[in-house]
Chains A and B, each alone.
Chain A
Amino acid sequence: MNQLGFPILTLTLLVPMLGAIACLFADAKAARWVALIATLVNFAIGIVLWAGYQIGGPQWQFQEHIGLFGSFGWSLGIDGIALMLIELSVFLMPICILASWQAIEKRVPEYMAAFLFMETLMLGVFEAQDLFLFYIFFEAGLIPMYLIIGIWGGAERIYASYKFFLYTLLGSIVMLIAMLWMANYAHSTSIPVLMATNFPVHVQTLLFLAFFCSFAVKMPMWPVHTWLPDAHVQAPTAGSVILAGVLLKMGGYGFIRFSLPMFPQASAQLFWLIALLSSVAIVYTSLVALVQQDMKKLIAYSSVAHMAFVTFGLFAFNRQGLEGSLLVMLSHGLVSGALFLCVGVVYDRLHTREIARYGGVANNMPRYAVFFLLFTMASVGLPGTSGFVGEFLSMMGIYGASTWAAFFATTGIILGAAYMLYLFRRVAQGPLDKPDVAAMSDLSPRELLLLAPIAAVVMWMGVYPESFMAPMRKDVGYVLSRVNPAWPGGDSRLAKGAAKPAAEPVSGEGAR
């Protein structure tokens, strides 16, 4: 069956699912514990998965297949890219449950069930090897998130939840049609088979655009990003963490799993579109983030800017770009999740997200300030934190594809520093002159337990990213082997001067 001898992937889906059902029949206190234990067990399974994964082994590992009807089947399997995103999900889940420990008071069993159900669906997205199984997980994931925002959200939760739902659903309808056409053409619904299928060039553009509708919204890319700030602002803290941490990664995962290997010619042709939208996104959303008065909105806009680094890197058509954007995805999942937790910490005390209401918390909450600063710096992309490696690689990659795109991408490091430090200054620095702010207590042990593990991983990824890059290396190579033949090369071609003999090979294709 697979290298471990038992269906471990099904188990990762089953554990939270059973936990969710158990929660529904428990009272509030028991539901919390059930959820925590279920997510911790799943985290442990995730560790086993990582340990059992053979780096450099077969492309698809831990495969399972049960035929259901037609060509449709329960087929699971992961490659290195999926593995890392699974690790991210199972790592963040227990943290989310703990973050909701006290903040959620009404309908606790249902809340916990929704979260566990969502974990199943998220993991399903990364594990599915059947096109339609993927689609089901991909779309069904909306439902628990919709409920979490709509029931446990803030004052305008209904508007936010509908906006979220409609935006993301509309995009995926066109994708479904494209999927049907593809299944029909390739006579298979298996994702590995489809990845190796050469679709006719003239259809690729249409198929690419159909998938693009869905992934661009999920990403989110400018200009279909406006659902994200509203959803974040209204969602409870843990909802924001999972939204930023995992749900936003599905767009990027979709691009690298479907768009690039399945439609390489279209990807190369439509490079200009991606580069244009991403360039606009970085400058536009960074400027908007600069003037935000609401902490969560600011971080939400910064997410859009960071996701632009992902799309840039993915469409750089070289190894640095692809690996960089995968690292940005992992890093952003951790860092923005942690930043939302940081907002949650002060929100739980003062019940406002308005930046101007805070100030000087470094005085009475020094531990909090340290974590907040660390994650701020990681968000800014300071070397030594996870933010740097990914951003730097993806910018390096995009330079090989287009110097214009690199120019705009790199402005992100200036603007990013401006809005994040401005946020930190207004919240943590300055005189402690507001009595209610001064009364806030420093991190509780529970809150420390939420932030410390993320901080540790952020530093780990910043100093020794090899642990995270090694499992993905071969799969990135596969994607490259699919897209590279279609890519004509970047604009920074080197032309040797006549004066000196050429010692090095002339590169016309940019950095590989």
Chain B
Amino acid sequence: MITLLVFLPLLAAAIAGLGNRAIGNVPAKLVTTACLFASCALAWPIFVGFLTGDSEAHVIKVLSFITSGDLQVDWALRVDALTAVMLVVITSVSALVHLYSWGYMAEDPSQPRFFSYLSLFTFAMLMLVTSDNLIQMFFGWEGVGLASYLLIGFWYEKPSAQAAAIKAFVVNRVGDFGFSLGIFGTFLVFHTVSIPAILAAAPGMAGSTIGFLGGRVDTMTLLCLLLFIGAMGKSAQLGLHTWLPDAMEGPTPVSALIHAATMVTAGVFMVCRLSPMFQVSPTALTVVTYVGAATCLFAATVGTVQTDIKRVIAYSTCSQLGYMFFAAGVGAYGAAMFHLFTHAFFKALLFLGAGSVIHAMHHEQDMRFYGGLRKSIPLTFWAMMAGTLAITGVGIEDLFGFAGFYSKDAIIEAAYARGTTAGGIAFAVGVTAALLTSFYSWRLIFLTFFGKPRWAGSEHIQHAVHDAHGHGHDDHAHDHHDVAAEGAGSEPSHDAHGVDEVKHGTLGYHPHESPLTMLIPLIVLTIGAIFAGFIFATPFIGAGGSAFWHHSLAFDHEFMEAVEHVPMWVKLSASIVMITGFVIALWAYILDTSVPRRFVATFNGLYQFLLHKWYFDELYDLIFVRPAFALGRFLRKRGDQGTIDRFGPNGMAALVQMGSVASRKLQSGYVYTYALVMLLGLVAAATWAMAI
């Protein structure tokens, strides 16, 4: 059953991809979507089986892969509670995104290719989460990277999309650099890459040291940190996060599936999967906590000033991933996985909702040109509201809350309950970021759905109104539109908050609610965003945790008990900052819309710093990209041509030429004469060698 579940998407991808134009749009879409729904239907019973305790963890071997001495690697599918959680997340979101794309990509000329990539991604992701060894995990890891590369660059005619695709792949490769070294080191230490065997042996390695790059370091700390570098790359943690916002160049369904719900959470999954290993190294866990907290805060601050609707959500994703990591760092793996689970629903919902808005607004992505949309697209509005209530964590203790209320608050409380310095800092950061989360989420809602329409300033809308007399709804996804594609980030002259300066009015444009194929996924995910936390809190983080996870991750029952008994002010803090953030957003974007402009005028330095995303891209360009190219050019000119060839073959040739000038009278200058001399020399040398 699991074999079918995993390989159906591959089959679908192959049919749609190889068939492509030969089989046409509808068959390609039909086969991929049908296969995904079938996989989804297979995944839920597995998950429910673990919830009720009927299922046992098991491994199914498919084929042997690499056998090299101690290294025995199989293609195998592992199913346990942790995998089951990922299976339902992946197949559910993927199936819904497939369906959603029927509507969203309806006008695209290369739909079979798109659906093929989507299914291929799903397959790779399933291989990742079902892997029983580190190498198959790496296969899935790189496979999702490939699919992400292909989908970000799906509109490959746009230079910005190509650049974003390459950036995503290469930055992920930097993470994989660490991941690879981690795998090598793990194999060296444990003589196996089988995950269960490693986890069983890991505690025995506590206190041991190993040589690395000339020094001696703690074995488990080294291995965990190397592997964690891989997780940082895939999950866009601070330092290796720069690819994620740019990845928004891809079509919006892709952002929902890959860059929100599934692929970017692979790093969290990996840390949880290997949690018994991380538990051996407190140092590594501290690092994980700090990196998670730093990312959480960084991304939340940047998210507050972005004007591109997708980028706001992208930074929000980055920030939420930070939460998951510091949850893992403080040892609350169950809470990390729970937030991963709920986040998948509400973040996919927010992205697909944003896609619906973009669809309605004729591919305009800049929130400065939105406004007042709640009446035109009410269903999308309510879906986005549900998503926002879920991400900000609205709820009342012991009664009911939206998804994020259970998972995010559990993380914040766990950080406090850990009682370490790192935990304390993570707690403070978590609360601060919750304030920012609430602010930017409501800012998005207010700018998009409330206030007066500001559509007149949008080139996309102008285009649409203009075209309405001609051939109607044209496909503008291919248009390279600077404002939409790059946001205000690269155009400081635009005042992101100067909404009043933007022309008001509708230009007579009428946004339409999206087709049913897009609305059904929104509705399903809305249900998930509302109820996922309430229903699943007990097995994931509550009393049922030990029974549910059943050693598939390091679930510390006593610690999770302690988390439930943190002081009241800790429990309330998340809700208080959530309300504060809402009030600030309400004040600044509804009640007194001049506030943002005044803020920017007063704190321009801070504003520019945030708008330029803490100048990471500029910094990396300066210290990595440019020097690499400059060094390459230098080596080509001065190294190969200037030194090796000059003193090597060309120098030799020049010497020979000088020699031949001197001995021209003796030699003809033909190559065969030289060859003869060479041969004579050889014979002499041979005779000499024979003689001794």
Chain A residues packing against B (C-beta within 8 Å): 162-163, 166-167, 169, 173, 176-177, 180-181, 184, 223-224, 226-227, 229, 284, 287-292, 318-320, 323-324, 360, 362-363, 366, 377, 382-384, 388-389, 392-393, 395-396, 399-400, 403-404, 406-407, 410-411, 413-415, 417-418, 421-422, 425, 428-432, 463-466, 469, 490-504, 507, 510-512
How many chain B residues have a CB neighbour from A under 8 Å?
79
In the complex, are the beta carbons of B685 and A177 less than 8 A apart? yes
Give B283-309 as 1s and 0s: 1 = Cβ < 8 Å from A's Cβ atoms.
000000000000000000000000000
Residue B68 interfacial (CB < 8 Å): yes
The residues of B that contact A176 with a CB separation of less than 8 Å are 682, 685-686
The residues of B that contact A224 with a CB separation of less than 8 Å are 648
Bound Cα distance A94, B215 (Å)? 52
Q: A291-B632, A429-B153, A507-B191 are in contact. List 11 more A-B contacts (CB 8 A).
A: A167-B649, A288-B640, A389-B66, A414-B174, A418-B628, A430-B162, A491-B214, A494-B188, A497-B206, A497-B209, A512-B70
The residues of A that contact B628 with a CB separation of less than 8 Å are 287, 290, 415, 418
| Most chain B beta carbons < 10 A, residue from A319, A392, A411 | A392
Q: Which of A181, A229, A413, A498 contacts B207 (CB 8 A)?
A: A498
Give 5 A-B contacts (CB < 8 Å), ordered by A residue: A287-B635, A319-B69, A407-B181, A499-B206, A511-B188
The residues of A that contact B142 with a CB separation of less than 8 Å are 382-384, 388
Provided the pairs A227-B649, A287-B631, A382-B146 are in contact, do residues A396 and B71 lie with their beta carbons within 8 angstroms? yes
Chain B residues packing against A (C-beta within 8 Å): 20, 63-71, 75, 135, 138-139, 141-143, 146, 149, 153, 156-157, 159, 162, 165-166, 169-170, 173-174, 176-177, 180-181, 183-185, 187-191, 201, 203-214, 216, 219, 628-629, 631-633, 635-636, 639-640, 644-645, 648-649, 652-653, 678, 682, 685-686, 689-690, 692
Q: Which of B67, B143, B156 contacts A466 (CB 8 A)?
A: B67
Complex: chain A residue closest to B176, CB-CB:
A413
Minimum Cβ distance to chain B for residue A512 (Å): 5
Bound Cα distance A343, B532 (Å)? 53
Bound Cα distance A180, B682 (Å)? 11
The residues of A that contact B75 with a CB separation of less than 8 Å are 463
The residues of A that contact B138 with a CB separation of less than 8 Å are 383, 392
Bound Cα distance A407, B226 (Å)? 12
Minimum Cβ distance to chain A for residue B186 (Å): 10
Bound Cα distance A510, B210 (Å)? 11
Bound Cα distance A324, B70 (Å)? 14
In the complex, are the beta carbons of A414 and B177 less than 8 A apart? yes
In the complex, are the beta carbons of A417 and B212 less than 8 A apart? no
In the complex, are the beta carbons of A500 and B71 less than 8 A apart? no
Complex: chain B residue closest to A396, CB-CB:
B184
The residues of B that contact A324 with a CB separation of less than 8 Å are 68
In the complex, are the beta carbons of B181 and A399 less than 8 A apart? yes
Bound Cα distance A167, B652 (Å)? 10
* A interface SS class: helix
In the complex, are the beta carbons of A504 and B690 less than 8 A apart? no
Minimum Cβ distance to chain A for residue B568 (Å): 40
Minimum Cβ distance to chain B for residue A89 (Å): 24
Provided the pairs A166-B652, A177-B685 are in contact, do residues A362 and B640 lie with their beta carbons within 8 angstroms? no
The residues of A that contact B209 with a CB separation of less than 8 Å are 494-495, 497
Complex: chain A residue closest to B189, CB-CB:
A494
Provided the pairs A404-B213, A414-B173 are in contact, do residues A399 and B189 lie with their beta carbons within 8 angstroms? no
Complex: chain B residue closest to A165, CB-CB:
B671
Bound Cα distance A512, B68 (Å)? 9
In the complex, are the beta carbons of A491 and B153 less than 8 A apart? no
In the complex, are the beta carbons of A414 and B162 less than 8 A apart? no
In the complex, are the beta carbons of B185 and A399 less than 8 A apart? yes
Minimum Cβ distance to chain B for residue A383 (Å): 4
Provided the pairs A173-B682, A512-B70 are in contact, do residues A226 and B640 lie with their beta carbons within 8 angstroms? yes
Minimum Cβ distance to chain B for residue A281 (Å): 12
* B interface SS class: helix
Bound Cα distance A284, B135 (Å)? 28
Q: Which of A360, A421, A494 contacts B208 (CB 8 A)?
A: A494
Bound Cα distance A497, B146 (Å)? 41
Complex: chain A residue closest to B478, CB-CB:
A431
In the complex, are the beta carbons of A413 and B212 less than 8 A apart? no
In the complex, are the beta carbons of A284 and B639 less than 8 A apart? yes
In the complex, are the beta carbons of A493 and B211 less than 8 A apart? yes
Minimum Cβ distance to chain A for residue B185 (Å): 7
The residues of A that contact B141 with a CB separation of less than 8 Å are 383
The residues of B that contact A502 with a CB separation of less than 8 Å are 204
In the complex, are the beta carbons of B170 and A421 less than 8 A apart? yes
Bound Cα distance A399, B189 (Å)? 11
In the complex, are the beta carbons of B71 and A320 less than 8 A apart? yes
Complex: chain B residue closest to A297, CB-CB:
B636
Complex: chain A residue closest to B150, CB-CB:
A373
In the complex, are the beta carbons of B180 and A392 less than 8 A apart? yes
The residues of A that contact B213 with a CB separation of less than 8 Å are 403-404, 407
The residues of A that contact B206 with a CB separation of less than 8 Å are 497, 499-500
Provided the pairs A377-B146, A430-B156, A493-B210 are in contact, do residues A320 and B69 lie with their beta carbons within 8 angstroms? yes
Minimum Cβ distance to chain A for residue B336 (Å): 26
In the complex, are the beta carbons of B216 and A288 less than 8 A apart? no
Provided the pairs A290-B632, A291-B632, A421-B170 are in contact, do residues A413 and B180 lie with their beta carbons within 8 angstroms? yes
Q: Which of A493, A498, A512 contacts B69 (CB 8 A)?
A: A512
In the complex, are the beta carbons of A393 and B66 less than 8 A apart? yes
In the complex, are the beta carbons of A421 and B212 less than 8 A apart? no
In the complex, are the beta carbons of B649 and A166 less than 8 A apart? yes
Minimum Cβ distance to chain A for residue B68 (Å): 5
In the complex, are the beta carbons of B63 and A464 less than 8 A apart? yes
In the complex, are the beta carbons of A425 and B69 less than 8 A apart? no
Minimum Cβ distance to chain A for residue B50 (Å): 28
Minimum Cβ distance to chain B for residue A303 (Å): 14
Minimum Cβ distance to chain A for residue B282 (Å): 13
Q: Which of B204, B207, B632 contacts A504 (CB 8 A)?
A: B204
Minimum Cβ distance to chain A for residue B149 (Å): 8
Bound Cα distance A415, B211 (Å)? 26
Q: Which of A406, A421, A501, A503 contacts B201 (CB 8 A)?
A: A503
In the complex, are the beta carbons of A392 and B146 less than 8 A apart? no
Bound Cα distance A400, B64 (Å)? 24
Bound Cα distance A207, B476 (Å)? 68
Going nearest first, the 7 A-B pairs with the smallest beta carbon separation are A497-B207, A399-B184, A319-B69, A287-B632, A291-B632, A383-B139, A499-B207
Q: Which of B20, B70, B139 contacts A384 (CB 8 A)?
A: B139
The residues of A that contact B207 with a CB separation of less than 8 Å are 496-500
Minimum Cβ distance to chain A for residue B222 (Å): 9
Minimum Cβ distance to chain A for residue B135 (Å): 7
Complex: chain A residue closest to B181, CB-CB:
A410
Complex: chain A residue closest to B153, CB-CB:
A429
Bound Cα distance A287, B636 (Å)? 9
Provided the pairs A226-B648, A414-B177, A511-B191 are in contact, do residues A500 and B204 lie with their beta carbons within 8 angstroms? yes
Bound Cα distance A425, B157 (Å)? 10
Q: Which of A404, A464, A511 contacts B187 (CB 8 A)?
A: A511
Bound Cα distance A413, B290 (Å)? 28
Bound Cα distance A410, B138 (Å)? 15
In the complex, are the beta carbons of A494 and B629 less than 8 A apart? no
Bound Cα distance A428, B64 (Å)? 35
In the complex, are the beta carbons of A466 and B70 less than 8 A apart? no
Provided the pairs A226-B644, A319-B68 are in contact, do residues A495 and B216 lie with their beta carbons within 8 angstroms? yes
Minimum Cβ distance to chain B for residue A90 (Å): 25
Minimum Cβ distance to chain B for residue A393 (Å): 6
Minimum Cβ distance to chain A for residue B158 (Å): 9
Bound Cα distance A392, B149 (Å)? 21
In the complex, are the beta carbons of B188 and A492 less than 8 A apart? yes
Provided the pairs A382-B146, A393-B66, A421-B170 are in contact, do residues A492 and B211 lie with their beta carbons within 8 angstroms? yes
Bound Cα distance A366, B640 (Å)? 36
The residues of B that contact A430 with a CB separation of less than 8 Å are 156-157, 159, 162
In the complex, are the beta carbons of B649 and A417 less than 8 A apart? no
Q: Which of A181, A323, A366, A383 contacts B68 (CB 8 A)?
A: A323
The residues of A that contact B678 with a CB separation of less than 8 Å are 169, 173
Complex: chain A residue closest to B640, CB-CB:
A226
